[in-house]
Structure 1
Amino acid sequence: MSSPLYETDKEIADRLASKDLQDLTNDDITNASRLLLRYSGVPSSEALRNSIIMALHKWNKTSDDLHAKSRSIWQSGWRPGQEAWINEEIGSGADVIAGSGQ
């Protein structure tokens, strides 16, 4: 039996496999590491693991390289989702309607 998250995780793994090394974000690296660990030894998850392994070959990295980089990212203080808001405009006033008194 596969995980209830398998379909979502497989989509993530397939997206990662399509990326080049220079295009990876911290989210991508930690997701690849997380998925490889989550589905390690799970017989019904071979397709997902193969997507991550294919990506590792494409990136010329090993699973040990991946996990070491992921640990380094976490130890730096990074947390999931940070990249999503880093480039957003904050305090731009774009959400304020001029003259509305709000």
Structure 2
Amino acid sequence: MSEPTQSHPLHTIDRDHVDRLLARETPRDGDLTDLARLLIRYDGFPGAEDLQRDLDRLLTLWSLTRDDLNSRVRSLWASGFRPGQAVDDAVGSGFDTTENDAG
């Protein structure tokens, strides 16, 4: 007898992420970290077969093994990468005080 499949509470949101990743020919750093976290989230999950199938497909499309992906993502994190942070993000508020300096 097979185990019943479960519905994951983040399936709808994750489906959008996976669809976005599938549209990308060459992954960016954030795409790699997204794929890695989604693979971890659904690893061993008894359901969401469509997502699990597409996550495996992404590895093939991007010519990666799980070990390759994990190695690259570990390197990204070690180099200071953080999701949503552009490489050239400047420190500061962006508030321009030049107009107010004419005391």
User: In structure 2, how many angstroms separate the alpha carbons of the residues matched to 1:84 and 1:45?
Assistant: 34
The question of 1:5 aligning with 2:16 is answered no
1:72 aligns with one of 65, 75, 82: 75
Distance 2:59 2:68 in 1: 9
- Unaligned 5+ segments in structure 2 are 1-5
Alpha-carbon separation, structure 2, partners of 1:15 and 1:5: 15
Q: What per-residue deviation string (whole Å, max 9, x for no partner) do you get for residues 9-53 of structure 1?
A: 1210121122112xx221111000000011001121211111111
TM-score (norm 1): 0.74
Partner of 1:15: 20
Residue from 45, 49, 62 that aligns with 1:46: 49
Contact 1:18 1:55 in 2 (8 A): no
Q: 1:6 to 1:85 in 2, by over 3 A?
A: farther
- Number of equivalent positions: 91
Unaligned regions of 5+ residues in structure 1, if any? none
Distance in 1, matches of 2:50 and 2:88, equals 32
The normalised TM-score by structure 2 is: 0.74
* Higher helix fraction (1 or 2): 1
Q: Could you report, residue by residue, the CA deviation over 1:46-101 in whole angstroms, capped at 9, with x for unpaired residues? A: 11111111111111111111111111111111111103984xxx8496xxxx9xxx
Larger C-alpha radius of gyration, 1 or 2?
Answer: 2
Residue identity in the other structure for 1:18: A
Counterpart code for 2:52: R
1:82 equivalent in alignment to 2:70: no
CA-based RMSD of the aligned residues comes to 2.4
